[in-house]
Structure 1
Amino acid sequence: MIKKRKKTIFGKALIVLSCGLLANSFAIAQSPKSLTLDNCYQLAESNYPLVKQYALIDKTKDYSITNASKGYLPQINIGGQASYQSDVTKIPISLPNIDIPTMSKDQYKLYGEVSQPITDLFTTVKYQKELINTNTVVEQQKIEVELYKLKERINQLFFGILLIDAQIDQTEILKKDIRSGIDKNSVAIANGIALKSSADVLKAELLKADQRTIELKDTRKGYTDMLSLFINQSIDEYTALEKPFTAPLATEINRPELKLFDLQKKTFDVQSKLIDNKTLPRFSLFVQGGYGRPGLNMLNNDFDLYYIGGVRLTWNISSFYTQKQEKQLLNLNQNALDVQKETFLFNTNLTLKQQNSEITKLEELIQTDNDIIRLRENVKLSAQNQLQYGTATTNDYLTYINAEDQAKQNQILHEIQLLMAQYNFKTTAGN
């Protein structure tokens, strides 16, 4: 009975162990996700809340265009008037046996009028629609400018993660060197030419390297959590970030801000047309019908229906008073916009020069890093052999491998900084 029970327990344990191995094999078989810098740019832009503003701008444009199009429709007015006047028109003659009616001093009028603008059909409505379309494009471009600024933040996070990944890999190389030292030291201990306590120094250093890995992975998680929020994608320790290629540097500036300046300038052109349009005479067709006392027959003192139609001309001459000043204000705004554009180009070129200097400095540092690493590696290998024969202490060996590790860490830092500086240069130039 006891033997049968043991078999049952052993069978259940075997099933659990098999399931665990199967799940682990399945997890390993899954290819890790990967992200490129361009993927992050696109995902961040599509996920950023400001993107929703595009739909609102389109809706606003549709409503504004619809309202402006109403200018093509006939204008309908309804009016009324009741008045009393001190005197009325009289015929200054009297004829025998003829009663000449006298108009009442109280008069009443209720009327409706339909008018069809003619001048506005070809000028005002057209320019209003043009201004609405131009302003819509300007607002959309403002969003493009704000979204473009995301690239700088994505660059910081993306290259920050790449740097941490490279530091983790370098720490693994350091651990490998420490383990190799432990193996060499074990031979020396076995041969009686090194103390057993010397191995503890290397083992303690290995534990310190493990702590560094833990800290780096924790820092990486903080970076990936922030990047995950920007791109709305889950990023874990298995997500691989692809190291971008060296970016070609083009000094031509193609920033979205420049397009925004050009679009804003177009709005000034349309506004200038609307200012000129206000000084034009207005022609319209109209039909008016009403009921009142008197009607069109001034000699009839009874309430009567009437209608009248024709062509109407109105010309607001006072619009000439302000036309010149409005044009001058428009020119001042255009000049202010030109100053803003010039300032933007100046600051951008200044930033590009600073970034280019940083790139040149990092390229020179990397060349020096290669020489330093080669020399440090030679010293380490020599100390590694000396450790085996007891002619070098563990402290000496640790000094040499830490020096080599620091040189490699510097090279990693400079390489990632160079890539980031190149892509920051691209982002600043807008290429």
Structure 2
Amino acid sequence: MTILKLNTMAKPVRFQGNFIEYAPRVLNLTGLRYFILTTTIGFFFAFVPQYILAQDSGKFISLEYCYEQIEASYPITQKFEIQKKITELNDRIARSGLFPEVQLSASASYQSDVTEVPFAANAPELSKDHYNVSVDVTQPIYDGGRTGAMRKLEMEQRAVEDAGVKTELWNVRGQTEQVYFGILFLQKQSQTVNVLIKDLEKQLESVQAKIDNGVLLPGNGLVLEAELLKVQQQSIQVRYDLEAAYEVLSELIGEEITPDTELEIPSVQAMGFIPREISRPELELFSVQTNTLNLQQELTASDKLPKVSAFAKTAYGRPGLNVFENDLQTFWIVGLKAQWSLKSLLNSGKKEEVLELQKRKIQADEETFRLGVKNELSKSEKKLEQLREQIELDEKVLKLREQVVKEKKNLLEQGVITSTEYITELNAESQARLNLEIRQVQLIQSIIEYSTKKGISWN
């Protein structure tokens, strides 16, 4: 595989006591986009911790674990073993073409007339009832390479089936990533909503005390109570969405998991090496499909050649080889025979032409697939750059919102502003924090999706 090596002169980024290396520029024809991807990954580590473990239940699963469960228990994986057995049986059938063929036959007949020898005084009288029990043995000597081609074709057919299963599993992997990160987004939203509920409850308690003392009007408390109910409704919706998402993930990995199970935020490593070529299972499928057609052409070519075999026959019956011997007798025949089909010779060229056209169709499909993946990767690279810039701005926005909320909180406690004004700023701060956390997770998701689209395992 051709790979692009990044410059090892890297600037370290300190994160939780560790140093994450990322390359400042890309060598060997990588271009600006690979630089953006690599520096984005390095930038990401400055903001997102490597793991989020369960704080309450202590139970968690990782995205890598989900991958392993899919490969181990997803129903379609049974096709690997089934196809293996099919290939073994078909190979035995194909290999039998080299073995001798033995046929046992028996017959009894009665005919209306028999051969007579004219002008012979002592000619034997032949019986009209005939009996025959025989064993015929045919041993192939040369079949034009047909048996070997059929065996190789069976093995390649298995490779085609396996590649098809791998492609389907890769698609399931992509679906799992979508559900997995969907749960992470919902959890982030749930955490933000819970923090907002606690802030509102605390502020409502403070405002209610001032209302009881006659410092504030009762309307301030009612506004806070209404907003608290609204946020609690959001919390209920998020909870049910999480339950539904966990059910979908359970179906995908074949293991029941509940919302009590925390999902680990994947830890993506800074990519020191970025392969230039994609390595998706679809490409393997195109390759083995082409190989299958090549072997079919080899099999077709064998039709042009003669088939040579040896044969032997032994029998007991009446009449034997000497038709004038009317008694039951034993006889045998041995010899060689050659077969050559003119029809197969004439059609083999047309069959090879058809197979060549089918190979061109596969080549067109592969080129179309590569173009589609290339376009998707270009969009992913742009999205990575976009998220990096947005995260920088999200941090600045959050700091500003925190300062505003702190100021409004003091003003509300002094009775200078209404609770409505405070709630407006509190919601703005909550949304700013949620935007930052979601985009940080989106950055991880985008990096993993980029690897999945390219056929590279993120771990």
Q: Is the 8 A contact 2:127 2:326 kept in 1?
A: no
CA distance in 1, matches of 2:410, 2:202: 10
- Please state how far the C-alpha of 1:85 moved relative to its aligned partner: 11
Residue 238 of structure 2, aligned match among 184, 205, 216: 216
Count of residue correspondences? 398
What is the Cα deviation at residue 296 of structure 1?
3.1
Structure 2 residue runs of 5 or longer lacking an equivalent are: 1-53
Structure 2: distance between partners of 1:193 and 1:233: 57
- Of 215, 227, 230 in structure 2, the residue corresponding to residue 205 of structure 1 is 227
2:370 to 321, 325, 345: 345
Are the aligned partners of 2:67 and 2:173 in contact in 1 as well (CA < 8 Å)? yes
Shift of 1:346: 1.2
Q: Deviations over 1:259-295 (max 9, x none)?
A: 1111111112221221122222222222112345553
Q: Which residue of 1 aligns with 2:19?
A: none
Contact 1:36 1:241 in 2 (8 A): yes
Q: Which residue of 2 aligns with 1:273?
A: 298
Aligned partner of 1:231 in structure 2 is: 253
Write out aligned runs for 1:402-417 (5 A). 402-417=427-442
Question: What runs of 5+ residues in structure 1 fail to find an aligned partner?
Answer: 1-27
| 1:118 counterpart SS class | strand
- Residue 70 of structure 2 is aligned to residue 47 of structure 1: no
Equivalent residue, structure 2, for 1:63: 89
Partner in structure 2 of residue 6 of structure 1: none
Aligned mates of 2:420, 2:212 — CA distance in 1: 19
What are the residue-to-residue correspondences of 1:284-303 with 2, within 5 Å? 284-291=309-316, 294-297=319-322, 300=325
Identity %: 28
Q: Does 1:365 align with 2:390?
A: yes
CA distance in 2, matches of 1:220, 1:156: 13
Is residue 2:63 matched to residue 1:37? yes
For normalisation by structure 2, the TM-score amounts to: 0.77
Structure 1's consecutive aligned runs of 4 or more residues displaced over 6 angstroms after TM superposition are: 81-91, 102-107
CA distance in 1, matches of 2:344, 2:193: 78
Aligned AA (1:147): L
The whole-number CA distance in structure 2 between the counterparts of 1:138 and 1:273 is 18
Q: Equivalents in 2 of 1:364, 1:247: separation in Å?
A: 20
The more displaced of 187-196 and 282-291 is: 187-196
Q: How far apart in 2 are the matches of 1:89 and 1:284?
A: 37
Within 2, Cα distance between the matches of 1:171 and 1:336?
54
Deviation at 1:338, TM superposition (A): 0.7
Question: Is this contact kept in 2: 1:352–1:425, CA < 8 A?
Answer: yes
Aligned pairs for 1:159-178 within 5 A:
159-178=181-200
**Residue 322 (structure 1) aligned with residue 344 (structure 2):** no
Q: 2:142 aligns with which of 97, 119, 126?
A: 119
Q: Distance in 2 between matches of 1:273 and 1:107?
A: 50
Q: Does the Cα contact within 8 Å between 2:176 and 2:249 map onto a contact in 1?
A: yes
Task: Give the 5 Å matches for 1:61-210.
Answer: 61-78=87-104, 99=121, 101=123, 110=132, 111-120=134-143, 123-182=145-204, 185=207, 188-189=210-211, 192-210=214-232
Which residue of structure 1 aligns with residue 36 of structure 2? none
My pick for the range that moved more, 29-38 or 227-236, is 29-38
Amino acid of the residue matched to residue 442 of structure 2? Q
Offset of 1:52 from its aligned partner? Answer: 1.9
- Per-residue deviation, 1:83: 9.6
Structure 2 contact 246–257 (Cα < 8 Å) conserved: yes
Secondary structure of 1:238's match?
coil
CA contact (8 A) 2:223 2:420 kept: yes
CA gap 1:369/1:30 in 2 versus in 1, 3 angstroms: closer
Are 1:331 and 2:353 an aligned pair?
no
CA-CA distance at 1:371 after TM superposition: 1.8
Sort the Cα spacing of 1:289 and 1:415 in 2 relative to 1 into closer, same or farther, 3 A. same
Deviation larger for 300-309 or 349-358: 300-309
User: In terms of Rg, which structure is larger?
Assistant: 1
Change (3 A) 1:119 1:379: same
User: Are the aligned partners of 1:61 and 1:136 in contact in 2 as well (CA < 8 Å)?
Assistant: yes
CA distance in 2, matches of 1:317, 1:83: 38
Distance in 2 between residues matched to 1:103 and 1:231, nearest whole Å: 84
CA distance in 1, matches of 2:338, 2:98: 18
Matches within 5 A, 1:4-19: none
